[in-house]
Amino acid sequence: MKNQPINTIDDVIRFLDYIITESEKNNDTLGYFAALYQRVTLKVKEGIQTSYFEDGPRMEKLDVIFAKKYIDAWVAWKGNEKTSESWKKAFSFSTKYWPVVLQHLLIGMNAHINFDLGAAAAEISKNQNIEDLKNDFNRINEILSSLVNEVQNNLSTIWPALKRILVKTGKADNILADFSMEVARDGAWEFAKKLSALSHNERTGVIKSRDEKVALISKIITRPKPWLKIILWVVRVGELGSVSEKIKKLKTIEPKFSTNEFTNHL
């Protein structure tokens, strides 16, 4: 499976299913991110089919390039090969016992949005005006944001006591405050514009610098503030089910997102 070419969005969906299946089989926490990412990819496919994006064929190409950066990193990690520092932080985190599901998801999003997305956008805009991509770039980010919001709204399916803990501590609205999707989106777009203005040879150093910066950002997730660390510890103790069972639950969470929902805001 891992040697099969990935040229279409359906190829992406199938490979994500392979990662999910392997993760379920091995109780591998890397399956958490793959399960939610597959839901988002399905929504992107729906958006292409319903003309939600300005340029459907271009969006499919962007989705494939974007997804392959994650898939290639996953394959490299599983093959004990070198990967980016951003993904190295995320994959290494998967071996630790105490992180809760949300932390695993956020550290994957950190690498994929803050590092991969900008590079993918620059790549798809080669020899073109990258500003032509901006509206569709924002639209794919709205879908990604819907994933984060849906995860927060559905945490109780895995952690029944979480909502009560958050209400009692007064932190119900702040659990994701340090990882802002809007900030991630804007940073990814600025990174994409910077890359698009450079020659191929000039990009290497900029990409390396960005990778190092994103790897450092992961500390927000791996080393949470003291109050949040205590809450997450309590949540982790109360998590229900095996890793495989939690992956299955994440697969059943549909992002509450319509491809018409954000049109008037862009």
Task: Tell me the pLDDT of the chain (266 aa) as tens digits.
Answer: 556 789 999 999 999 999 999 999 999 999 999 998 998 899 999 999 999 999 999 999 999 999 999 999 999 999 999 999 999 999 999 888 677 788 888 889 889 999 999 999 999 998 899 999 999 999 988 887 776 666 655 555 555 555 566 556 555 444 454 456 666 778 899 999 999 999 888 999 999 999 999 999 888 777 766 666 666 666 666 666 788 888 887 876 554 444 343 333 23
Work out the number of other CB atoms within 10 angstroms of the CB of residue 36.
26
Q: Which of 114, 120, 146, 143 is nearest to 58 (CA)?
A: 120
Residue 231 is predicted with a pLDDT of: 66
For 69, what's the count of Cα atoms within 13 Å in the CB-facing half-sphere?
Answer: 23
Residue 23 is predicted with a pLDDT of: 96
Both tokens of 266, joined, read 């862009």
Answer whether residue 215 is part of any domain: yes
Answer whether residue 153 is part of any domain: yes
**Residue 236 structural domain:** 9-259
Cβ neighbors of 183 (< 8 A, separation 6 or more) are none
Answer whether residue 159 is part of any domain: yes
Answer whether residue 264 is part of any domain: no
Answer whether residue 266 is part of any domain: no
**Whole-prediction pTM value?**
0.84
Residue 13 is predicted with a pLDDT of: 95
Domain count along the chain: 1
Answer whether residue 265 is part of any domain: no
Answer whether residue 196 is part of any domain: yes
Residue 9 is predicted with a pLDDT of: 96
Residue 172 is predicted with a pLDDT of: 44
